[in-house]
Amino acid sequence: MSILPILTYGQPILKKKARAITKVDDDLGELVQALFDTMRNANGIGLAANQVGSLKRVLVVDISDMEEGKEVPPLVLLNPEVIEEEGSWTMEEGCLSIPEVRDDVERAERVKVRYKDLEFRTCEVEAAGLLGRVLLHEIDHLNGVLFIDHLGVVKRKLLKGRLNKIRRGEFEVGYPVAAEAPSTVAEPK
């Protein structure tokens, strides 16, 4: 089991766009396993590589513990891109990188995402509900976008004090966090 610290709000890498993966190798396999281990240790349902300090364009999702996701297998998406969006719905979201902050976010109700799997085959997934929302949330991370970036100006101003506390490390969570990106993981090979 390889659990990595999760970077929290204010770390520059969270606002950077991840770089496309061009090959699957042992390092990527280790990163994927670490992403799953880290996400599950933090009781999360999705995690993008830049949340642990890597700019590789990879994310993992596992909603199988949720009522709506019991039939959904864990997913690994390399180089994911949203190719279709339909409808709109609002739901409360949170983020392992922004602990103790939750708010309503409007997102597409249905999405189609194209990605590469661990065999580097092109795949597509159509998703609605929770799975669609988690995919959009994590793809946003890979594009340097946080869920709070979807909030209006007034809501973001109201959150400023809480976000500053997170930036200073004034919060408590039950999983490892880091004040800055670990240099051993930050750049893709």
Q: Tell me if residue 120 falls in helix, strand or coil.
A: coil
* Rounded Cα gap, residues 53 and 91, in angstroms: 27
To which H or E segment does residue 26 belong?
Answer: helix 26-41
Q: Residue 90, Cα to own-chain centre: how many angstroms?
A: 18
Catalytic, out of 138, 170, 172, 180: 138
Q: Is 138 a residue of the active site?
A: yes
Q: What is the DSSP secondary-structure string of 59-118?
A: EEE--TTSGGGTTPPPEEEEEEEEEEEE--EEEEEEETTEEEEEEEEEE-SEEEEEEE-T
Q: How many helices (H) and strands (E) does the chain have?
A: 3, 9
Distant-in-sequence, close-in-space partners of 19: CB < 8 Å, separation ≥ 6:
55, 56, 57, 188
Task: Compute CA distances 143 → 16, 36, 46, 137, whole Å.
Answer: 7, 20, 15, 10
Give catalytic residues, as residue numbers. 138
